[in-house]
Amino acid sequence: MTERDTQLEAGTGRLRMPRALRRLIRCRSGSAAVEFGLVAIPFLALIFLIVNTALVFYAQQTLQAATSQAARLIMTGQAQQSGMTQAQFKQALCTNASALLDCAGVYINVQTFATFTSVSPLNPIKNGAFDSSQLAFSPGVSGQIEVVQAFYQWPLFATLLGYDLSNVGSGLDLVVATVAFRNEPFN
């Protein structure tokens, strides 16, 4: 710096800025690129989170629609009269689901209850992990109350910025579909 650049401004008591620094501050070329760089990362993170949440909702709706369609087999007595097993019922459910869901990851629980007030759906999350040991398949008989549940562990791909939808282990969200009904008189 020259002596002239470091002199105090007359009457203010402040040091003068060097000429090069003043020119740099006034220069506006490239400011749009810098501003975009500052905004791009949070913007892209937000887009990924929105897409991730939308996919979870889509998987939920897909599983619910497939479960409702498959539950009609039990409600109308077709499953009971054909002697359908849990694996066959699961396959019927997967036939109604889109290719978005991997059938190997779908779990089925069918319970019979005496009254609607006694219905208590199964919660398969134990100690923060999915526990399939309590799943049952009881399609019941004519007039009984049934609860059909389908479970799917949806993998989450965007868990940035502390926005984590996972409720089963790390990076997985348990998607649940439930249908409750009274079996029709099919005997």
The answer to whether the CB of 98 falls within 8 A of the CB of 57 is no
**Confidence label for 168 from pLDDT (cuts 50, 70 and 90):** confident
How long a stretch of residues is the chain? 187
Query: What phi and psi, each to the nearest 5 degrees, are found at residue 124?
Result: -85, 5
What is the reported pLDDT for 157?
Answer: 76
DSSP 156: P
Q: Residue 155 pLDDT > 50, yes or no?
A: yes
Q: State how far the Cα of 164 lies from the Cα of 172, in Å rounded to an integer.
A: 9
Mean pLDDT value across residues 128-153: 94
Closest CA to 152 of 177, 121, 171: 177
Give me the pLDDT at residue 162, please: 67
Q: What is the pLDDT of residues 66-101, one digit of tens each?
A: 999 999 999 999 999 999 999 999 999 999 898 889
Q: At what angle do helices 31-75 and 86-96 cross, to 10 degrees?
A: 130
What is the share, in percent, of the chain residues with pLDDT greater than 70?
Answer: 87
Query: In Å, what is the CA distance from 115 to each residue of 73, 101, 145?
Result: 21, 33, 7
Whole-prediction pTM: 0.77
